[in-house]
């Protein structure tokens, strides 16, 4: 289990996150929600030790992440940052195989290759296996990156806005995949999302972040007109549609 | 039931098909490497036989193993020259391939860090201030370096100085790879200005000697120079090859690389340092040889893709091949005049680079 206790962190002396404490449950998808600039991406980087906490500690199964070797950490946490730049000219197979890097000593074993093969089929990517990832559509490319994170066989999966710029069909498909693998592999998944209704549809737990501080954590009960108004500053209503909670503004 | 079983069989076939296709692509990449080695060996043998005196393959073997009238030419002139071309080409190809990765810049080459300008400044200092070289006009023997080792050491110091400034900046301010490239341009410009400044006050023959030094020339390589380049190359190659998966990770950006277990800052710094030392040694001994380091990784990438497991060794072999062929052209195109190889690499490299830009394949 991942546990953050009173963590304060930032860049070059500027504090972005203050006194962050929460834990992630196994087998659950947790949505990290909050307005732009609230520190969501920084929080993922903090968990994956890309930045270090100035105060507080982060533990996985009771062990401080400072004590993990780079390889151990890569075998424990898979982190998928936002796609900001052009992707490299690698084939889908090569891109996914890279997820086995934390386990490869010299060259990939036949098991590694079969794992790639399995995940390619599971993600319905077999028709593009040897196509360059930057010649795929946004949804397909995102699926490849998630496949790589899954094949890393982590305990914790951190995804930064994985459904950004995707159409509705791809958004749903990607979140279904994440949910399925979170259950199947008993992962603790933390996903940064902007669409609160998608989060309500697919996520089990929620963390609301505002101005670098935790506003609330819990199940979907914490998503209500009052908390949404406080977090995003917009008037909204909560309705029930097909037995599902929906926020409308 | 039957349908399900058929689907499972198809799935199994499909599974094998994808893995087999991947294994086949790996096989072709290894085959490309072996083919390049075979071509390199053939060109190497041809380079030993060509020159003002033509020596047949049989005569080469006799001269090398039994000894004959050609042994002197081979052991003292042609072998060190051809081996020098192979080693320097390999070093430049290797350094170019690594630098394009760590500096996230397809135009990064061994000279991006301003190393060549630093080396030229060091050589100019040795020639002009310490009278280590002068120029005469006696046919081909127009330039004499009284103390070529002193010039080389001075050039090496100049090259390393520019590297230290850039590495210092990287460490002190933790600057981005893009900023490193810009710093390299600035440092190069600074050293260029300093070289021109001291040349302005030098005598004509010293200026000639300085300019002559900058021409990349494989003919400057002797056995001892080759041995030093070989040691630097082997050590760097081993380290870089061990980092091949880290370089593959770095293609996806710092954060992805870190999340895959790569220690990005130390990988970048050590790689930059090794590249700088390797290029500094080559430039100090042989002068400035452009385009090999820039173009070799690009050409190899066009055929085998971006996988650093293959890109590192194949760029190295291709760099050797490119420099050896260039040297062969330099030796033979205006026979008996031997041109500096730097002129040929730039002549070949520029149109080749334009061609690749027009084709727009993985450049």
> Which A residues in the span 137-166 are in contact with B, Cβ-Cβ below 8 Å?
152
Q: What does the domain layout of chain A look like in residue ranges?
A: 2-248
List of residues 6+ apart from B271 with CB closer than 8 A: B98, B99, B102, B240, B243
- Chain B touched by A128 (CB under 8 Å): no
User: In which residue are the tokens 């002139």 written?
Assistant: B77
Q: Give the residue from chain A lying closest to B242, CA to CA.
A: A106
Highest mean pLDDT among B48-57, B286-295, B314-323: B314-323
Region B240-255: mean pLDDT is 95
**In the prediction, which pLDDT does B252 show?**
93
Q: Could you read off the pLDDT of A113-149 as tens digits, one per residue? A: 999 999 999 888 989 899 999 899 888 999 999 999 9
Contact A121 B19 (CB under 8 A): no
- Chain B touched by A82 (CB under 8 Å): no
Contact B15 A50 (CB under 8 A): no
**In the prediction, which pLDDT does B6 show?**
46
- pTM for this predicted structure: 0.89
Region B214-237: mean pLDDT is 91
Tell me the C-alpha distance between B292 and B216, whole Å: 12
Contact A101 B25 (CB under 8 A): no
Closest partner residue to A98 (CB to CB) among B19, B260, B263 is B260
CA A236 to chain centre: 27
Closest partner residue to B261 (CB to CB) among A73, A121, A129 is A73
Tell me the C-alpha distance between B301 and B353, whole Å: 13
B10, B15, B18: best to mutate for the A interface, most A CBs within 10 A: B18
Contact A117 B19 (CB under 8 A): yes
Highest mean pLDDT among A8-12, A22-26, B106-110: A22-26
- Chain B touched by A73 (CB under 8 Å): yes
Backbone angles phi, psi at A174, to 5 degrees: -65, -45
- Chain B touched by A101 (CB under 8 Å): yes
Tell me the C-alpha distance between A48 and B257, whole Å: 12
Closest partner residue to B259 (CB to CB) among A74, A89, A129 is A74
Tell me the C-alpha distance between A88 and B13, whole Å: 30
Per CB-CB distance under 8 Å, the chain A contacts of B245 are 98, 101, 104
Per CB-CB distance under 8 Å, the chain B contacts of A114 are 15, 19
Nearest CA distance, A201 vs chain B (angstrom): 28
- Chain B touched by A87 (CB under 8 Å): yes
Exposed e or buried b per residue across A207-232, where buried means at least 16 C-beta atoms within 10 angstroms of its C-beta: bbbbebebbbbeebebbeeebbeebb
Domain boundaries A2-248, CATH class = alpha beta
CA A193 to chain centre: 9
Per CB-CB distance under 8 Å, the chain A contacts of B23 are 113
Q: Give the residue from chain A lying closest to B241, CA to CA.
A: A106
Is the previous residue joined to B295 through a cis bond, with omega within 30 degrees of 0? no
φ/ψ region of B139 (left if φ > 0, alpha if ψ in -120 to 50, else beta) reads: left
Per CATH, which fold does B27-359 belong to?
Answer: ABC transporter involved in vitamin B12 uptake, BtuC (1.10.3470)
Q: Could you read off the pLDDT of B167-223 as tens digits, one per residue? A: 787 777 666 777 888 888 889 899 999 999 999 988 888 888 888 888 888 888 889
Region A151-164: mean pLDDT is 94
């Amino acid at each position: 289990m991942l546990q953050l206790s009173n963590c304060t962190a930032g860049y070059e002396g500027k504090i972005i996150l203050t006194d962050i404490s929460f834990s992630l449950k196994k087998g659950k998808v947790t949505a990290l929600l909050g307005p732009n600039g609230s520190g969501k991406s920084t929080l993922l980087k903090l968990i994956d030790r890309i930045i270090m906490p100035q105060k507080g500690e982060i533990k996985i199964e009771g062990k401080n992440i400072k004590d993990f070797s780079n390889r151990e950490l890569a075998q424990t946490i898979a982190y998928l940052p936002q796609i900001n730049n052009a992707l490299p000219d690698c084939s889908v197979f090569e891109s996914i195989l890279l997820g086995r890097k934390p386990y490869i000593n010299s060259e990939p074993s036949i098991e590694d290759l079969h794992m790639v093969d399995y995940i390619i089929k599971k993600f319905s990517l077999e028709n593009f296996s040897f196509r360059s990832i930057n010649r795929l559509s946004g949804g397909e490319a995102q699926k490849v990156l998630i496949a790589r994170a899954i094949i890393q066989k982590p305990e914790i999966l951190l995804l930064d806005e994985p459904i950004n710029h995707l159409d509705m069909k791809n958004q749903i498909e990607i979140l279904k995949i994440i949910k399925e693998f979170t259950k199947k592999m008993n992962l603790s998944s933390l996903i940064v999302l902007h669409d609160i209704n998608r989060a309500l549809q697919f996520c089990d737990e929620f963390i609301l972040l505002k101005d670098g501080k935790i506003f609330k954590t819990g199940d979907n009960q914490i998503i209500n007109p009052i908390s949404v108004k406080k977090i995003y500053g917009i008037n909204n209503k909560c309705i029930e549609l097909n037995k599902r909670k929906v926020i409308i503004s | 039931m039957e349908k399900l079983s058929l689907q499972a069989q198809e799935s199994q076939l499909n599974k094998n098909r994808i893995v087999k296709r991947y294994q086949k692509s790996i096989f072709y990449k290894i085959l490309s490497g072996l083919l390049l080695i075979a071509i390199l060996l053939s060109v190497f043998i041809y380079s030993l036989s060509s020159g003002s005196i033509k020596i047949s393959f049989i005569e080469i073997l006799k001269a090398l193993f039994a000894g004959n009238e050609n042994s002197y030419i081979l052991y003292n002139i042609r072998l060190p020259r051809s081996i020098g071309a192979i080693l320097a080409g390999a070093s430049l190809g290797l350094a170019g391939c690594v630098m394009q990765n760590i500096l996230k810049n397809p135009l990064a080459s061994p000279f991006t860090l301003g190393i060549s300008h630093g080396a030229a400044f060091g050589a100019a200092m040795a020639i002009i201030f310490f009278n280590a070289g002068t120029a005469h006009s006696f046919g081909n023997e127009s330039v004499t370096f009284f103390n070529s080792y002193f010039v080389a050491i001075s050039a090496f110091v100049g090259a390393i100085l520019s590297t230290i400034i850039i590495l210092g900046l990287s460490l002190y301010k933790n600057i981005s790879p893009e900023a490193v490239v810009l710093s390299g341009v600035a440092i190069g410009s600074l050293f260029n200005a300093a070289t021109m400044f001291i040349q302005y006050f030098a005598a004509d023959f010293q200026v000639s000697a300085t300019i002559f030094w900058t021409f990349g020339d494989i003919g400057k390589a002797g056995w001892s120079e080759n041995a030093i380049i070989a040691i630097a190359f082997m050590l760097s190659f081993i380290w870089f090859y061990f980092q091949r998966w880290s370089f593959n990770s770095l293609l996806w950006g710092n954060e992805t690389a870190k999340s895959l277990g790569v220690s990005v800052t130390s990988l970048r710094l050590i790689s930059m340092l090794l590249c700088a030392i390797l290029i500094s040694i080559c430039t100090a001994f042989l002068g400035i040889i452009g385009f090999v380091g820039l173009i070799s990784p690009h050409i190899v990438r066009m055929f085998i893709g971006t996988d650093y497991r293959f890109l590192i060794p194949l760029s190295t072999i291709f760099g050797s091949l490119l420099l050896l062929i260039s040297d062969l052209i330099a030796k033979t195109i205006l026979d008996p005049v031997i041109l500096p190889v730097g002129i040929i690499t730039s002549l070949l490299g520029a149109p080749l680079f334009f061609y690749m830009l027009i084709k727009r394949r993985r450049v």
